[in-house]
Amino acid sequence: MPSQRRHARITVPGVAPFSLSLHPPGELVSDHLAAHGIWEPYETTLVTGFLKPGMCVVDAGANLGYYTCLAARLVGRAGRVHAFEPDPENHRLLERNTADLGDRVIVHAEALGERAGTARLAGDRSNMGDAHLEPDGSLVVPVARGDDLHLARLDLLKIDTQGAEVQVLAGFRATLGANPAASIIVEAWPWGLARAGSSAAELLAILEALDRPAWLIDHQAHVLRPLTGEGLRTLLLRTLTVADRGFVNLWLGDPPG
């Protein structure tokens, strides 16, 4: 409803301030943005340090568009950002928040997966960032395959799909193979992976096949911690468990700077 519309002034070092339309009060991401004007400060720093004019970004699980709008300002008019968001309420805000960014942003009202088709979406109205694919979801949404974008260039793939990360990566196999310098930000959440019908072991296998340097994003210490092959295996198969619902964000590829 118009009376419930609110906005946040986003203030990221090195980027001109901009405004984002938000969900009504009581929604986790929107409340945080309204209070602080920034989301995931260290991940934000990594993105701003990595992206350059002319780059191509895919934002899988764009939510209301925080990273999409940030990336669009960094890649400039010569760059492109493909933003995928299947949840109708999130997508409505995403469209509104990207309306002034021109053709550098292409918004897709779809989920991403290993193959094109449809899937069921579920979510939590108190945390719109938790919209996720699961077999018992109440809403049927279209699913696209990343490779079907036929991108000639990909520089950054950001995936926050609440458990569908394996399927998203599988759908980008050819594109990532053709763009070995592309970096990836991906959430590793065994509980979410299991909920979506996947597993940490499957995520490990696809990350190993990508053959990129792996880094743990330590958002508390604000550092990237390098992960050896065994370190990544230990993290995904032993440190993080379905039972404790723990998660981390990973950076795959050469780090910024």
Any domain includes 47: yes
In a domain, 3, yes or no: no
Q: 223 lies in a domain?
A: yes
Does the structure show a pLDDT above 70 at 125?
A: no
- CB distance 90 to 63 below 8 Å: yes
Q: What is the DSSP letter of 235?
A: I
Over residues 52-62, mean pLDDT = 98
Domain span at residue 235?
40-252
pLDDT recorded at residue 124? 55
pLDDT higher than 70, residue 145: yes
Q: Sheet of 139-145: strands edge to edge?
A: 111-113, 139-145, 117-124, 127-133
Asked if the structure places residue 14 within a domain, the reply is no
Residue 136 within any structural domain of the chain: yes
Confidence of residue 121 (pLDDT cuts 50, 70, 90): confident
pLDDT for 119 equals 86
pLDDT digits (tens, 9 = 90+) for 100-111: 999 999 999 999
Does the residue 176 lie in any domain?
A: yes
Q: What is the dihedral of CA 142, 8, 32, 131, to 10 degrees?
A: -10
Radius of gyration of the chain (CA): 17
Confidence class for position 192, pLDDT limits 50, 70, 90: very high
Q: Please check whether residue 9 lies inside any domain of the structure.
A: no
pLDDT at 134: 65
For the chain, the domain total comes to: 1
Please check whether residue 153 lies inside any domain of the structure: yes
Average pLDDT rounded to a whole number, residues 10-18 = 97
* Other residues' Cβ atoms within 10 Å of the Cβ of residue 98: 22
Of residues 184 and 123, which shows the higher confidence score? 184
pLDDT digits (tens, 9 = 90+) for 161-191: 989 999 999 999 999 999 999 999 999 999 9
- Give the domain CATH number at 161: 3.40.50.150
Of 2-16, 189-203, 243-257, minimum mean pLDDT range = 2-16
pLDDT at 127 over 60: no
* Predicted local distance difference test score (pLDDT) of residue 4: 62
Lowest mean pLDDT: which of 73-77, 129-133, 246-250? 129-133
Average pLDDT, the chain: 93
CB 141 within 8 A of CB 134: no
**Looking at residues 65-70, what average pLDDT do you find?**
99
